[in-house]
Amino acid sequence: MPDGLPHGAQPDPEHEGWYTWGDFPRGSFASRTGRLLFRPDGPGRGLTRMFPDGSHQNMGGSIHGGAVMSFIDMSLFAGGRCAGMAEGHYVTLDCHTRFVARGRIGVPLDAQVRLLKQTPGGLVFFDGHCEQDGEICYAFTGTLKKITQRGADGPRR
């Protein structure tokens, strides 16, 4: 397997050259995205893919903006690791999405993630875009922060 894949990545049996974590835990928010594929795409770049279906559709028949933004957020992590982001646990600090064109149901949606910079303090800056059949649908930027503690034991008061 190539270096730089996210922890737990396995070759996807149905899509040669792609990797996956398999199915997300049933009932988790991440499972709503469906199968997430990823792979390195050259130095400083990662590629992710989702398969939009009827569960991702908005009232106008396009991919719902919330589904798009969830996919992009997940792409910052999986695609970011494929692009060379250091191992560790990260949280999203910001994510900005531009809706350039309508995304179509039934057509794979690919996110091209580019790692712009990692700082010694644990900030990682990205940009990228999503496309279907070579047409850009969405553009994005995002920042992740490496943290030392995972999870939370409830609200802080």
CA-derived radius of gyration, the chain: 15
Closest CA to 95 of 79, 73, 110, 74: 73
pLDDT of residue 150: 65
Which residue type is seen at 53? D
pTM, whole model, 2 decimals? 0.91
* pLDDT tens profile 105-122: 999 999 999 999 999 999
pLDDT at 6 over 60: yes
Query: Which residue would you say has higher pLDDT here, 153 or 8?
Result: 8
Q: What is the pLDDT of residue 153?
A: 53
Report CA-CA distances (Å) from 141 to 10, 21, 108. Answer: 27, 24, 21
pLDDT (tens digit, 9 = 90+) per residue, 31-70?
A: 888 899 999 999 999 999 999 999 999 999 999 999 999 9
Q: Please give the pLDDT value at position 14.
A: 94
Q: How confident is the model at residue 4 (pLDDT cuts 50, 70, 90)?
A: confident
- Strand arrangement, sheet containing 123-132: 10-11, 19-20, 37-40, 45-50, 109-118, 123-132, 135-147, 89-99
Task: Tell me what pLDDT residue 38 has.
Answer: 97
Is the pLDDT score of 81 beyond 60? Answer: yes
- Looking up tokens 């179509």 gives 104
